[in-house]
Amino acid sequence: MNPGDAIFVAGHRGMVGSALVRLLRARGFDHLLLRTRAELDLCDPAAVRAFYAKEKPAYVFVAAARVGGIWANATQPVEFLSENLRIQLNLIDGAYEAGVTKLLFLGSSCIYPKLAPQPLHEDALLTGSLEPTNEPYALAKICGVRLCQAYAKQYGARFISAMPTNLYGPEDNFDLELAHVLPSLIHKFHLAKTRGDASVTLWGTGSPYREFLHVDDLAEACLFLMEKYESPELINVGCGHDLRIRELAELVRQTVGFGGSIAWDSTRPDGTPRKLLDISRLAALGWKPRIKLEEGLRSTYAWWLNHDSGVRSI
């Protein structure tokens, strides 16, 4: 990649896309193609085709998606399946038609079967049933991976796919109901601290494990892969270790400085019991993350405080 190359970051307003934009700018890439939803509706095939034809990007990062936490996934299956399928189909088909040099598609660790052996190796894809709370999102992402592989196999396209673990960081969605666990917990503990509540109620049992990667580390990995990885085989991006949700809750409680207790609402879903990624494929290429969870939590809480509530609809 050269500094003047036209790079399309699809989804640049989201947590992942905005981290990519920060990194690309810091590395001197100054020809970034960025479009808000109002400027370019990624669900509209004709609009996406016209954009590609006019702007002719050399590189495309597919960071656009409808995303959300366990509750959003479980209660909005139509949007999570339909919108994600349409967005990625338009972006991937359009990239091939426009002769894009290279494309990186972002999936998710939830594409792997619910009960696959841990840590989750890339070869576990499609070896078992999915976790029901996020099956629609996972199905869409699996289609995206397979479409990139099909373009690579049939037409020799340089379309690669990275599977990140659970992400967090600046520009995340901190909604109390619809967000992922880490930003939701920051919001919940902060509210409880401010109001002087005695207790905070979290979802499920607290016993599932999750792995968390700071989005700035993910952005580094994406750029690394765009520059160095040529295989159509998907590649996991994680930090290599996980913790129980109740351990995460304790860390967030301390970071925010809430002195009360934690209650668990078992009427809310736990989701998959564990989804620790096997990151040996990426590690063998020489990449590793930098940001420790404690440090990332502190900086994400500080970011959220400085950016008001950070709550936005998804």
User: Which residue's CB comes closest to ligand GFB?
Assistant: 69
**How many helices (H) and strands (E) are present in the chain, helices listed first?**
10, 12
Shortest reach from residue 247's CB to ligand GFB, in Å: 11
Asked if 137 is an active-site residue, the reply is: yes
| Closest CB 183 distance from ligand GFB, rounded Å | 8
Closer CB to ligand GFB, residue 110 or residue 152? 110
Residue 299: exposure state from Cβ atoms within 10 A (0-12, 13-18, ≥19): middle
CB 214, min distance to ligand GFB, A: 14
Residue (of 231, 184, 175, 232) closest to 204 by Cα position: 184
Residue 129: left (phi > 0), alpha (psi -120 to 50), or beta? Answer: beta
Report the residue from 270, 287, 299, 311 that binds ligand GFB according to the rule CB under 6 A: 270
Q: x/- string (CB under 6 A) for ligand GFB, residues 65-104?
A: ----xxx-x-------------------------------
Catalytic-role residue among 52, 59, 112, 137 = 137
CA angle 43, 143, 150 (to 5 degrees): 105
| Tokens matching residue 113 | 């079967």
Window 101-120: residues binding ligand GFB (CB under 6 A): 108, 110
Q: Does 202 bind ligand GFB (CB under 6 A)?
A: yes
d(CA 208, CA 274): 6
Closest alpha carbon to 119 in 278, 288, 236: 278
**Which residues carry out catalysis?**
137
Rule CB under 6 A: which residues touch ligand GFB? 69-71, 73, 108, 110, 133-134, 137, 166, 179-181, 184-185, 188, 202-204, 208, 210, 245, 268-271
